[in-house]
Amino acid sequence: MTSQTLHDVRFSEPPRTRNYLNVDYGVFSWLLTRDHKRIGILYLISVTTMFFVGGFFAFMMRLELLTPEGDLLTSDTYNKFFTLHGIVMIFFFLIPAIPGALGNFILPIMLGAKDLAFPRINLLSWYLYTIGAIFGVYVIVTGGVDTGWTFYTPFSTQYSNTKVFATTLGAFITGFSSILTGLNFIVTTHRMRAPGLTWFRLPLFVWSMYATSVIIMLATPVLAITLVLLMVERTLGVGIFDPTIGGDPVLYQHLFWFYSHPAVYIMILPAMAVISECVAAFTRKRVFGYTFVAYSSLAIAFLSFLVWAHHLFVAGISLYSAMIFSFASMLVAVPSAIKIFNWTATMYHASVSWQTPMLYVMGFIGLFTIGGVTGLFLGALGIDVHVHDTYFVVSHFHYIMVGGTVMAYLAGIHYWWPKITGRMYPEWWARLSALLVFVGFNLTFFPQFIVGYVGMPRRYHAYAPEFQVLNVLSTAGATVLAVGYLLPMIYLIWSLFYGRKAGSNPWGAVGLEWATTSPPPLENFHETPVVTWEAYDYPAFLKAMRETQHV
């Protein structure tokens, strides 16, 4: 492969300019659309909005923690803010973000399909998300909720006098939005692949998204029934978690984490999906160990169901079961490490181009590794008891969720932006924001490892004065991080109007999404593609593209 062929691909103009964006105008052409691409955009706007809502609460908490005294927010307000931060970020951003926005848009195109299998159900899923989010906003403006995002009983059922019912109902409804998305992805992947697109020719994005969907389908309903039982208990005044009639609050924790630990993988597997695509695109190579990376997604999905009780090590479960769950938790590190090592091996001896998505990928690999390794600390029984409910835990899961998922979300937005909008984003500004996010993130969360390890508990608005230096560093980092997150909002919107026109394949990458025009036409392809190349086979793909005149 010479640079000449890449050059050809990169700068050829799309022959046809009718696309999914200009085929129809007006509010209702969006609100009643069944086009997976437009629904992806609807999700993109909604989840990004919720990200900034959740970010607001985080920033207010960081401001409070600038000083050891609880002076900015009362303890009650602080309780509500960390609860709302968690609920908004987890249920309304992290879980739907990559599947809803990028998965909806890209997955059917990667499969060579005209749409997802059930377009109306796809639209319904966005409406359910929106209704759930409206419940969330209703709770925010009418006084909030203070249970923590985990809604632990009996506090949530018997004692809290905040808006628990509306919040859990919102989470319940949003859960069905993600169930419907998962259902659509599974059926589409099984039944709608283009001719010649066998399972082992699928992009790793699809494998990872498929594994995500399996978890969504098997875990989310358990949360749904748990929240139903919680709502029943709050309504009737008695219920199955109520100790006064013999119920067991620890059972609630089991059922809750049976969903909510797999949910961590619902959040991280789509991130890994994005990373695989970006690594292949910016190293110009097939991902090393393709089969292992593909199966490791399924392995993570499987193992994710066997580790939930590591959240209950201090909740009174037996030592014997704690040991088993501790061991199973360690096992998850294996498929995760397989991915990290294979991505790294792909970069070895490759001519890596350092465009913005690749910068985020590098950030992801470093930060996810730190998050993953500290996860092993927490999976170990003794250390978990020591650092339980400290900032060490907070920092650990933010390295996974923010350092992992949000980094990958930004990588994916930048990587597919030219495909989604037909415009290039300004590279210099994007690189600057990637740098700010990386620096800001580490400055925010690395001090939290230390302050947590030396004993600062989470979820208090006041703290001992000796922790102040590290907290000031953390708040300073949060400011940098906020700038890093706001910048893309500005330059991406700017690029919609003034960005350079992107050809169909601005990165010279492999994949069916790069075989169609940017933005794609209404039914994604001008004619049904036939796949004759293996996954990430650059020479074969570029040859096929030249032959079918797609470039």
Partner 1 sequence: MSDITVDSREETPHAHHHHPFLQHHFEDLGQQHEASTLGMWVFVAQEILFFGGIFAAYAIYRTMYPEAWSAGAHHQNWFIGAVNTAVLIGSSLTMALAVWAAQTSRRMLTVWMLLATLILGSIFVGVKGYEYYDHIHHGLLPGQSFTYVHAENPALTPGIQLFMVFYFSMTGLHALHMIVGAGLLLWFMYRAWRGDFGPEYYAPVEIMGLYWHFVDIVWIFLFPLLYLSH
Q: Which residues bind partner 1 (CB under 8 A)?
A: 16-18, 22, 113-119, 179, 183, 186-188, 190-192, 217-222, 224-226, 228-229, 232-233, 235-240, 244-248, 251, 255, 258, 521-523, 526-528
Report the distance separating Cα 185 and Cα 360, nearest Å.
26
Q: What's the CA gap between 241 and 230, in Å, rounded?
A: 8
Q: How far is the CB of 247 from partner 1 (least distance, A)?
A: 6
Query: Which CB sits closer to partner 1, 37 or 62?
Result: 37
Locus of tokens 């061991």? 327
The residue among 224 and 383 lying less far from partner 1, judged by its C-beta, is: 224
Minimum distance from residue 26 beta carbon to partner 1 (Å)? 14
Report residue 28 as tokens: 């209702």
Q: Which residue has the tokens 């019912």?
A: 165
Distance in Å, CB of 237 to partner 1, minimum? 5
| Minimum distance, C-beta of residue 158 to partner 1, in the bound complex (Å) | 12
- CB-based burial label for 71 (10 Å; 0-12, 13-18, 19+): exposed
Which of residues 232 and 315 has its CB atom nearest to partner 1 in the complex? 232
Would you say 127 or 460 has its CB closer to partner 1?
127
Q: How far is the CB of 518 from partner 1 (least distance, A)?
A: 15
What are all long-range contacts of 431-435, with beta carbons under 8 Å and residues at least 24 apart? 431/356, 431/359, 432/487, 433/484, 433/485, 433/487, 433/488, 433/491, 434/356, 434/359, 434/360, 434/363, 434/410, 434/484, 435/359, 435/484
Nearer to partner 1, 251 or 435 (CB): 251
Torsion angle defined by CA atoms of residues 384, 385, 388 and 390, in that order, rounded to the nearest 10 degrees: -100
- Written in H, E and C, the secondary structure of 273-307 is HHHHHHHHHHHCCCCCCHHHHHHHHHHHHHHHHHC
In the three-class reduction of DSSP (H, G, I as helix; E, B as strand; rest coil), residue 221 is classed as helix
Indicate the residue among 183 and 509 with the shorter CB distance to partner 1.
183
Select 210 or 445, whichever has its Cβ closest to partner 1: 210
Q: How far apart are CA 172 and CA 154, in angstroms?
A: 19
Q: Which DSSP helix (H) or strand (E) runs through 135?
A: helix 119-141
What is the per-residue DSSP string for 401-434?
A: IIIIIIHHHHHHHHHHHHHHHSB---HHHHHHHH
Q: Tell me the closest approach of the beta carbon of residue 404 to partner 1, in angstroms.
A: 26
- Judged by beta carbon, residue 119 or residue 289, the one nearer partner 1 is 119
Residue 117: CB minimum distance to partner 1, A: 4
Minimum distance of partner 1 from residue 391's CB (angstroms): 32
Closest C-alpha to 516, from 536, 537, 545: 545
Cβ-based nearer residue to partner 1, 175 or 412: 175
CB closer to partner 1, 191 vs 386? 191
SS3 111: coil
**Token pair belonging to 168:** 């859990």
CA distance 289 to 337: 12
Q: Across-strand partners of 457?
A: 390
Closest to partner 1 by CB, 237 vs 539, is 237
The distance of closest approach from Cβ of residue 295 to partner 1 in the complex, given in angstroms and rounded to an integer, is 21
Minimum CB–partner distance for residue 136 and partner 1 (Å): 22
Peptide bond into 457 cis (omega under 30): no
d(CA 54, CA 46): 12
> Can you tell me whether residue 541 is helix, strand or coil?
helix
CB of 97 to partner 1, least distance (A): 21
